Chains A and B, each alone.
Chain A
């Protein structure tokens, strides 16, 4: 089945130690998104790629970076994680039209110690 896969499911990192989360898709969708979701809150969009074009949200901290080496893969890099970055990180894809639903991965739960 076509899907969005996130690895790892759980990630523990130390304060200040860089960490990378990965996402892959078999849907061949144009757009890949990274959302941060803290407990009982709405997903917050960090950035997205439309094909190779990177689009950063205005309030996304510089500590968060992303790479999309090809259509299928997208990475979220947190350069110096702080305690406040502990959250669920959701990857999603879409065809890139307003009526296109988002397809989400299972998420990566990040813990910062």
Chain B
């Protein structure tokens, strides 16, 4: 079974600065997908960014980018030019590409990010 570990329960950053959230995972599979989801206070969870394990190039979405280190099983999220609206709980998630239920995600415990003005 896969496990996803987010070692930072809480983080804070000043507005306009850059912050990196950590995520590591454990799997014996070679082909899989990794996701970062954002859950703002009292609002719905939304996808931030997605990475396919077979791609060496790190995914980017505007101010959000990942540092995917497959050998180290690490998938960190970098937020540049942090904005107050980035304040949220961030979840790292793993999606397997094999097995009978390859559409279920395994979530980490989350990192609560606070952006301070």
Instruction: Give residues in A with beta carbon < 8 Å to B.
Output: 4, 31, 33, 40-43, 45, 48, 50, 55, 90, 92, 94-102, 104-107
Q: Which B residues touch A55, using CB under 8 A?
A: 101
Please tell me if B105 contacts chain A, counting CB pairs below 8 Å: yes
Query: Hey, what's the 0/1 contact readout for B4-26 against A, CB within 8 Å counting as 1?
Result: 00000100000000000000000
Of the candidates B47, B50, B97, B110, which one forms a contact with A42 in the assembled complex, judged by CB atoms under 8 Å apart?
B110
In the complex, 24 of the A-B residue pairs with CB atoms within 8 angstroms, ordered by the A residue number, are: A31-B103, A40-B89, A42-B108, A42-B109, A42-B110, A43-B45, A43-B107, A45-B104, A50-B103, A55-B101, A90-B45, A97-B102, A97-B103, A98-B33, A98-B97, A98-B102, A99-B97, A101-B50, A102-B37, A102-B45, A102-B105, A104-B44, A106-B44, A107-B44
Supply 11 further A-B pairs (C-beta < 8 A) apart from A40-B110, A42-B91, A96-B103.
A42-B109, A94-B103, A97-B102, A98-B33, A99-B52, A99-B95, A99-B97, A100-B103, A101-B35, A102-B105, A104-B46
| Inter-chain contact A98/B110, CB cutoff 8 Å | no
- Contact-residue size bin, chain B (C-beta under 8 Å from the other chain): 20 to 34
Query: Hey, what's the 0/1 contact readout for B92-117 against A, CB within 8 Å counting as 1?
Result: 00011100011111011110100000
Q: In whole angstroms, how far apart are the Cα atoms of A37 and B3 in the complex?
A: 18
Q: In whole angstroms, how far apart are the Cα atoms of A36 and B103 in the complex?
A: 18
Of the candidates B45, B50, B110, which one forms a contact with A99 in the assembled complex, judged by CB atoms under 8 Å apart?
B50
Q: Which B residues touch A31, using CB under 8 A?
A: 103
* Residue of B37, B43, B45 with highest tally of chain A CB at under 10 A: B45
Which A residue sits closest to B4, measured CB to CB? A42
Please tell me if B64 contacts chain A, counting CB pairs below 8 Å: no
Q: Which B residues touch A104, using CB under 8 A?
A: 44-46
